[in-house]
Every structure is written in structure tokens, then in C-alpha cells.
Amino acid sequence: MLSTTQLTMQFGAAPLFESVSVKFGAGHRYGLIGANGSGKSTFLKILGRDLEPSSGTVAWEADKRVGKLGQDQFAFESYSVLDTVIMGDAELWRLKSERERLYGLPSLSEDDGMRVAELEADFAARDGYTAESRAAGLLTGLGVPIAQHNGPMSAVAPGWKLRVLLAQALFPDPDILLLDEPTNHLDIHTIRWLEELLVARRSTMVIISHDRHFLNQVCTHIADLDYGEVRIFPGNYDEYMTAATEVRERRLADNARKKAQIAELQAFVSRFSANASKARQATSRARQIEKIQLDEIKPSSRVSPYIRFDMGKKLYRQAVELRALAQGYADLLWRDLDLYVGAGARIGVIGANGAGKTTLLRTLAGELMPRAGEIQWAEGARVGYCAQDHGEAFAEDLTLLAWMSQWAQPTHDEQAIRAVLGRLLFSREESEKSVRVLSGGERARMIFGKLMLLAPNVLILDEPTNHLDMESIEALNLALVHYPGTLIFASHDREFVSSLATEILELDGGQVTIFGGGYEDYLKARGAGAASRSGVS
């Protein structure tokens, strides 16, 4: 179905990956994983023939339809949203365009009439008459408002354009589907819908994702890009983690056993090589040493940061209380919100994009004033805030060391600050570079370093896993599991929410509902229509 032979990609002195030969079996769904910078997106572009490799080949089976998640969200500005989705089936779009052109002529010649008849047959064979309804179904499933379906792409907000492009990739129900971070900019409910859709399809899929739950739900195999090579593991992400750990430990144990055997044989050779009566045995053992081959265990490209959030002053009873809170912009997102957050609470905020999750967290963090009502923090509350967009935090041209030093407490000297940078994978040399050149993932790690220094007793985190690789997500997740303070956060990562939240706050169409229990309890209550509602109108 889809395979590579001796694939190599090199941009600088060292190759991203080298001599990769791998086959992706028909109907299997592969999660392509690897550290940031390991070459996942590059590999996927080469699979989709959007990028030429340095050497090697990519083979598709003949006449197979390929769906790809487009990266240029402004490429279809002059087209309607529905037409943009239908363009995912290039042949159907060609037929549709020619059909509309002919029907738009003032009159049809005999040849035109014959061509129309051919087009109608081909159009029907390609299920063209249901194209708009099928496209609309995908858009609705992905949360794109019906009112926008017939409007131009130029009127669609950037985050929503990506949903349209995802619908475009899904539309032709392709034989091969290549998706790079399809869950980006999706809310947690839409991700569940996408999981179910992908599992129901029979395409061969290669999907890049940092969402562990998504990988567990969707993938039948994991393609691990590490050590400059791709290795295939059967099973989902959790099964891969178990298998990969076992493989590495087994290879290390085999090497240890072989080294012990070599040492034992070498000791015999050294002791008896000069002894005439033992010379033949010594020679035999020397030959045995030559035959023993140690497995090459390459250093992994994966490195995990060390993240730990301490808490300064402990809070008792209350962390914060909201009374009759109203918030919004031109229109109110919600009104009359009453919410009591006890000390040590762990609240996951969920809802569709645009429901007001970020607005609520920014209001709690003091970045926005409420339109009405009041927020009363407990005496001694010390809030640490991680915004979804880190741009403003790094506007000033400072070195990493100077930036982090801004958040130093009286007990922190330069060595302590450098230690925090080191735990977050920034070397001494890197600590002298400008924060302006940092990637999204590096900026996120710097924000975590700031929070580590501040030691707040309340953490407010808005999509903190954005831009992080799997190792950083897991390190952050573990740090928050052990964090003793109050946690209020929004995330589209279901594994993250499930492992941390003990209460769920749902924003839905101006309604704010509090569900006691974790995310799985919320799903059960939501399915049954049962809820414990806060004071909201």
C-alpha cells in the first residue's frame, strides 16, 4: 500500500533519518511519534510526495487516493467552505467544475451535450450528487457552524480554517490518509468525534500526534522515529511504551551478558596465551571473542525535562470564590456565575472552542476585568498563570538567564536559576541566547521554569501541553499529579484531563455546569443528562 526504500533526509551535516525502509500495511493506522526536531513532519511530507528526500524512494500502490492535511490555511480564500472541502477529491472537483461550466453556457452544442452526458455518468459514479451533504456532515462534526458552510474561506477565523482543511483531507475517504497533528485547535468533544470517524474507516493512515489518548484510541501500530530510523511496533501507544522499554532493556541485558562473556574469555586468553599446554585453548577463546557482536544501541533523541512545582504558603479551606460573575466582549459569554473553589481543588475547564475557556482563565488570573460580579481570592493566595499564547511574555530581548532571573525569589542565586534552566534542557551555552529565538515548546518550558521559581499555591494553566513533545507532556503531567496546590486548567488532551481533574467545569452556550468527579465521571453524567449545576442563568 505505502512503503519507503532506503529513505534519507539531510539538511545539514547530520541526517534527520537515514536509509529508512518501512512498509505501512493496508488498513492499518500508524501513529508517527518522535521527539520535537526528529523529523516527523519532514518524513510525512516525503510520504505525501510534497518534499523530495535526499535519497531513496516512496512507493504508493497505483490508483490509490491519498488524503493529506494541508498546512496552508490561506490557500482557498476565494472559495466557499463547502467547495474547499470537496476539493479534497481532486477528480470529483474537476468533474464538478466542468459540469458547472457547461451548464453555465448560454446554449449547448451537440458535442457539449454529449460531454454533459459523460460528465453526469462520471459525476454520479463518484457520488457527486451527495458531495455537498457529505462535506457538510464533516464540517458539522468538526464543529464548523452551518452558517459558514456557504460563505467564503476568507471569512473563516484561522483556527477554524484548519478544521476545514481537515474535513478536506477526510472528504474523499482516501485509501491513504496522512495527518500532521489533526487534533490541534480541536476541543475535547470534537477530538472524540474524530477518533470515532477514523476508527470506522478502512484507510491506511499515518498520523502525527502528541495526544496520548488519541493515539491509544485510533492507532493499530506505532511508527517510532528515533535514532535516525523508523521502527514499527504493533499496538497502540501504551502497548508501544511497554514493548519499546522491554526491547531496549533486553538489548542492554544482552550486551551486558556478552560483555561479561568477553571479559571471562579475555581473562583466560591473558592468563594462558603464553602457556604452551593451554595455547590451543587460548587461541580458541580468542576466536570466540571475535565472533561475539555487541548490539549497537544508539543514543535516543528523546530527552525528558525535570519539572517540579513546589508550593509556598499552604491555603486552607478556600482558594477563590466567584460571585455573580459576568464576562464577555460584544456579547456576554456567561452571566451570574457563582463558583466556590476549595483549597487543593483540581478543576478541568472544558467546552467547545469559543465557549470562553481562555476568557475565564484570563479573568481568574487578573488579566481581564469581569463585566460584572466579583472574584475573591483567599488571603495568601499566590497565583501562577500559564497563558495559551506565550508571545507577550517574550517580547523583550533578554537572554534565557536574564529572563528567568526576573522570577527569582530571595533564596535563589544565579546557580539556582541555572539549575532550573538545566532541568528544563537548556545548556549553559543556550542560557546566553535570546528568548526571541525560542520555539513554541522551548517557550513553554521557560514558563514552567518561571512557575517552578514562583512556587505558587494556585496554578492556572491554559492548554499547557500545546507545542510540547511527548516527553515534556509526560513530565508536566507527572509534575502536576504531585503538585499539592490548587489547580485550574483547560486542555484538549483527554489523558491529561483524565489524570488530573477531580472536578469538571463545562462551558456550553452560555451555560456553566460543574460536574463532581473526574473526566470519566463527567462523560457518564453527560451521557445520562445528569449534572450538578452551579448558579448560572
Residue 497 near residue 187 (C-beta atoms within 8 A): no
The DSSP 8-state label assigned to residue 113 in this structure reads H
Backbone angles phi, psi at 376, to 5 degrees: -120, 110
The number of beta carbons lying within 10 Å of the beta carbon of residue 320 is 22
Residue 324 near residue 372 (C-beta atoms within 8 A): yes
Which one-letter amino acid corresponds to residue 97? S
Domains 1-64+175-235 and 318-533 share a fold: yes
Beta-strand relationship, 383-386 and 332-342: unpaired
Residue 337 near residue 534 (C-beta atoms within 8 A): yes
Residue 35 near residue 469 (C-beta atoms within 8 A): yes
Alpha carbon distance 295, 318 (integer Å): 57
Place of cell 452544442: 109
Q: Which CATH number describes the domain made up of 318-533?
A: 3.40.50.300
- The torsion of the CA quartet 248, 253, 255, 261, rounded to 10 degrees, works out to -170
Q: Where exactly are the structural domains of the chain?
A: 1-64+175-235, 76-173, 241-291, 318-533
- Amino acid 148: pLDDT: 95
Alpha carbon distance 231, 264 (integer Å): 34
Residue 124 near residue 117 (C-beta atoms within 8 A): no
Please provide the average confidence, as pLDDT, over all residues in the chain: 91
CA distances from residue 306 to 223, 475, 476, 480 in whole angstroms, order as listed: 26, 7, 8, 12
- The torsion of the CA quartet 527, 531, 535, 537, rounded to 10 degrees, works out to 30
Residue 372 near residue 325 (C-beta atoms within 8 A): yes
Task: Give the residue ranges of the chain where pLDDT is below 70.
Answer: 299, 528-537
The per-residue pLDDT for range 134-169, each reduced to its tens digit, is: 999 999 999 999 999 999 999 998 889 999 999 999
Residue 33 near residue 237 (C-beta atoms within 8 A): yes
Neighbour-count burial of 201, counting CB atoms closer than 10 A to its CB (0-12 exposed, 13-18 middle, 19+ buried)? middle
The DSSP 8-state label assigned to residue 315 in this structure reads P
- Amino acid 76: pLDDT: 94
Residue 343 near residue 317 (C-beta atoms within 8 A): yes
- Amino acid 435: pLDDT: 94
Closest alpha carbon to 223 in 61, 4, 453: 4
Alpha carbon distance 160, 172 (integer Å): 20
How many H-runs (helices) and E-runs (strands) does the chain carry? 17, 19
The number of beta carbons lying within 10 Å of the beta carbon of residue 98 is 16
- Amino acid 533: pLDDT: 34
Alpha carbon distance 397, 417 (integer Å): 18
Class of the 1-64+175-235 domain? alpha beta
Q: Which long-range contacts (CB under 8 A, 24 or more apart) does 394-398 make?
A: 394/435, 394/436, 394/438, 394/443, 394/446, 396/435, 397/434, 397/435, 397/436, 398/434, 398/435
Supply 354's cell numbers: 469559543
Supply 236's cell numbers: 497502540
Strands of 318-328's sheet, edge to edge?
332-342, 318-328, 372-377
Supply 152's cell numbers: 467564503
The per-residue pLDDT for range 319-373, each reduced to its tens digit, is: 999 999 999 887 889 888 999 999 999 999 999 888 899 999 999 999 999 999 9
Neighbour-count burial of 532, counting CB atoms closer than 10 A to its CB (0-12 exposed, 13-18 middle, 19+ buried)? exposed
Widest CA span in the chain: 107
Backbone angles phi, psi at 93, to 5 degrees: -65, -40
